[in-house]
Amino acid sequence: MIEVKILGTGCASCKTTQKLVEEVLAAKGVQARVEKVEDIASIMRYGVMSTPGVVIDGKVVHAGGVPARAQVEQWIGA
């Protein structure tokens, strides 16, 4: 099971990114735990200065703006 964290304070782009990641996970049948991180201090610990950010298994794979679906599919792999 992979761990995905969506970093963001709850803006529309953050919500869209979370929905997109969850859709791709479901479409690929990948089991994952998706966690929303809204605490600014926690977000800063990842070195993310612009949200939304996406962290997969502890590694920041995206920051700033909604990622393209193809990008998300690459990160998920399966």
Task: Report angle CA 4, 32, 8 to the nearest 5 degrees.
Answer: 25
pLDDT value for 78: 62
Q: What is the mean pLDDT of residues 13-36?
A: 96
Q: Evaluate if residue 40 carries a pLDDT over 80.
A: yes
- Output the average pLDDT for the chain: 95
pTM across the whole model = 0.94
Question: Domain 2-76 - what CATH class?
Answer: alpha beta
Per-residue pLDDT, 77: 84
Cα 45 to Cα 25: distance, rounded to the nearest angstrom = 25
Label residue 29 left, alpha or beta by phi (over 0 means left) and psi (-120 to 50 means alpha): left
For residue 4, what are its two tokens?
Answer: 């995905």
